[in-house]
Amino acid sequence: MVGTINTPDEIALLREGGKRLAHAVAETAKKVAVGVKTHELNDYFEQLVRAGGDEPAFLNYQPRGAKRPFPASICISVNEEVVHGIPTENTRVIKDGDIVKLDGGVRHRGLITDHAVSVIAGNAQPEDEALVRGTRQALMAGIQAARGGNRTGDISAAVEAVGVELGFGIVFELGGHGVGHHVHEEPYIPNVGDAGTGDLLVPGMVLAIEPMFTLGTPKVRVKFDGYTYVTKDGTRAAHWEHTVLITDKAPEILTAL
Ligand code: MG
């Protein structure tokens, strides 16, 4: 078996941490507005997390293969930036109609949850609204497939089906993952794949499911900063993510409000 089975005590901590993270991300999302600088959103998120006695899990986290630790408390990615934007370095001033992706992690008493939302500042273009809504729909479809006895490929296939149906680019080079004791754990959950394939889902596993869709091709590249993924064709992207607990029945969303 690939992945960690959490104890009831660990699950209780993940549940509390997830709730706190959902709150911090939602409050930060409320601050997204035209003229706001992304580093201001980073500072606000960090302050909310620390006020609860927790730590921003992504600050100083060094993924395998990265040349340096992540230098911000939350990933903020705007428009053609897909994920892992650094608000404290490549600060952006939010403009009317921008798609702003907030992806945060919280370490609550040692245990980590991961959650992302996409919001549009000011007046949204209809295609951007459809992209944001469709990506969220794919997340919910993936969550529905995340049940004990299923496999990671069932989640992948459910996410992919929504992307194909709606005609969006499905970012296949990045995906979901186990979470809880580390920011990234096994199993890896691709955003495209075949039902019935991949790693077995077992009750007690905690997974971050995170579809990313684009308005163009699905290809992405990493920017000079070593972290920010952007679409190769420069089209806009959306990203949604929940941390879920696998059970015998429908999964429990740990990062719901
Ligand atoms: Mg994640």
Q: Is 235 exposed, middle or buried (0-12, 13-18, 19+ CB in 10 A)?
A: middle
CA distances from 35 to 24, 31, 89 (A): 21, 11, 17
Q: What is the pLDDT of residues 40-92, one digit of tens each?
A: 999 999 999 999 999 999 999 999 899 999 999 999 999 999 999 999 999 99
Return d(Cα 120, Cα 128) in angstroms, integer: 8
Q: Which positions ≥6 away from 256 have C-beta within 8 Å?
A: 18, 19, 22, 242
Q: What is the pLDDT of residues 215-249, one digit of tens each?
A: 999 999 999 999 999 999 999 999 999 999 999 99
Would you give the DSSP letter of residue 125?
P
Q: What is the pLDDT of residues 109-158, one digit of tens each?
A: 999 999 999 999 999 999 999 999 999 999 999 999 999 999 999 999 99
Map out the domains of the chain with their CATH numbers: 8-253 (3.90.230.10)
- The CA 84 to ligand 1 mean position distance, Å, reads 10
- The CA 129 to ligand 1 mean position distance, Å, reads 22
Nearest Cα to 233, choosing from 169, 164, 190? 169
- The CA 115 to ligand 1 mean position distance, Å, reads 7
Q: What is the pTM of this model?
A: 0.98
- The CA 202 to ligand 1 mean position distance, Å, reads 19
